[in-house]
């Protein structure tokens, strides 16, 4: 039986981009069975544009901004009868084989939780925006190959987690490990869900034959801003508290502490030091709340081999971060 796929686009004031994004989906060699736009209380008329110019699209409208996580979770719930769900940022343009290649990659191995497309820079498609995301023992998540020639990253393979800006997820495994944690609101939520899948022994995969062009930072407005610094610093603490058992935290402390110190200095030099430190403090408060709510991943002995593989990968990725 043919697998069924939905495609979910979260939108917040994306009138500059959403039309081109949806138009690119009309040219797919394998059309998704359902396209859903979840609008996060836009005030720029982008929701009206979708309604009027793309009647084939299912439009879900929120009265206010629920963040990336709230939007995509609603889209995933509306895709409950599907086998796969593709998440796509509104500031992307998908190549014609984008959907086909992602679905093909998931059909090849039932252990694949997610698969990410090759994301190229919109202004210069010869350069990469993201070829799969990695996480290292310094407490840093980073995009593999960012700013490098795209031709260097033409081999498929395992990655630590998929960037949710252009990735496909297996619905049955989302039902098993849970949806995106809405406490994240935005940033590092894809690291969290990919890490949870890894703990359970599933795979995140990079598919270079699935291609999108990406503007980047379209909703937040710039590469560095108060909103992004506040959320990434808070969520970086929450991410560790959720997914690292206490012994793993202790093991990584000699690298985590200087990693966070370097980030603090980095943002201080750009005028965001105080906001970064406040975000760290809020991260500890959020972590305590997450524990009370049972959101942290419970250590299970049968997952020990997966933890060992993840830890080795954290060390290897620390080296890779400086060899990029």
> Which stretches within the chain are classed as H helix?
18-25, 46-53, 67-77, 98-108, 171-177, 189-199, 226-243, 246-268, 273-292, 304-323
Phi, psi (deg, nearest 5) at residue 63: -75, -20
- For the entire predicted model, the pTM comes to 0.95
Per-residue pLDDT, 220 = 45
- Strand positions, DSSP E, 103-202: 112-121, 128-130, 133-135, 141-143, 157-159, 166-170
The mean pLDDT values, 10 residues at a time, for the chain of 324 residues are 92 96 98 97 95 97 94 97 98 98 98 98 96 97 95 97 98 97 94 98 98 76 78 97 97 97 95 95 96 94 97 97 81
Per-residue pLDDT, 217 = 57
Residues 6+ apart with CB under 8 A from 118: 128, 131, 150, 153, 206, 207, 208, 209, 210, 211, 212
Per-residue pLDDT, 221 = 47
Per-residue pLDDT, 246 = 95
25 close to 50: Cβ distance less than 8 angstroms: no
212 close to 95: Cβ distance less than 8 angstroms: yes
d(CA 59, CA 43): 15
Per-residue pLDDT, 1 = 59
């Amino acid at each position: 039986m043919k697998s069924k796929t939905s495609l979910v686009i979260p939108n917040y004031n994306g009138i500059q981009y959403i039309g081109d994004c949806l138009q690119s989906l009309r040219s797919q060699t394998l059309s998704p069975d359902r396209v859903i736009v979840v609008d996060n209380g836009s005030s720029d008329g982008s929701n009206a544009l979708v309604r009027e110019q793309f009647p084939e699209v299912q439009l879900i409208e929120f009265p206010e901004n629920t963040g990336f996580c709230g939007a995509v979770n609603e889209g995933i719930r509306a895709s409950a009868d599907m086998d796969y769900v593709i998440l796509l940022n509104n500031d992307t343009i998908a190549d014609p084989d984008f959907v086909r290649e992602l679905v093909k990659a998931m059909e090849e191995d039932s252990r694949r939780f997610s698969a990410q497309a090759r994301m190229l820079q919109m202004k210069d498609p010869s350069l990469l925006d993201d070829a799969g995301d990695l996480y290292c023992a310094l407490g840093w998540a980073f995009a593999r190959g960012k700013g490098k020639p795209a031709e260097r990253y033409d081999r498929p393979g395992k990655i630590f987690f998929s960037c949710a800006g252009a990735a496909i997820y297996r619905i049955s495994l989302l039902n098993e490990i849970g949806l995106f944690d809405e406490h994240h609101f935005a940033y590092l939520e894809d690291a969290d869900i990919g890490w949870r899948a890894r703990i359970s022994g599933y795979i995140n995969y990079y598919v270079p034959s699935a291609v999108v062009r990406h503007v980047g930072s379209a909703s937040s407005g710039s590469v560095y801003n108060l909103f992004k610094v506040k959320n990434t610093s808070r969520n970086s603490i929450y991410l560790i508290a959720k997914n690292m058992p206490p012994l793993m935290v202790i093991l990584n402390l000699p690298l985590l502490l200087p990693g966070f110190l370097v980030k603090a200095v980095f943002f201080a030099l750009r005028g965001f030091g105080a906001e970064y430190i406040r975000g760290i403090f809020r991260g500890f408060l959020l972590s305590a709340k997450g524990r009370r709510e049972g959101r942290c991943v419970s250590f299970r002995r049968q997952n020990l081999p997966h933890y060992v593989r993840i830890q080795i990968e954290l060390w290897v990725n620390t080296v890779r971060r400086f060899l990029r």
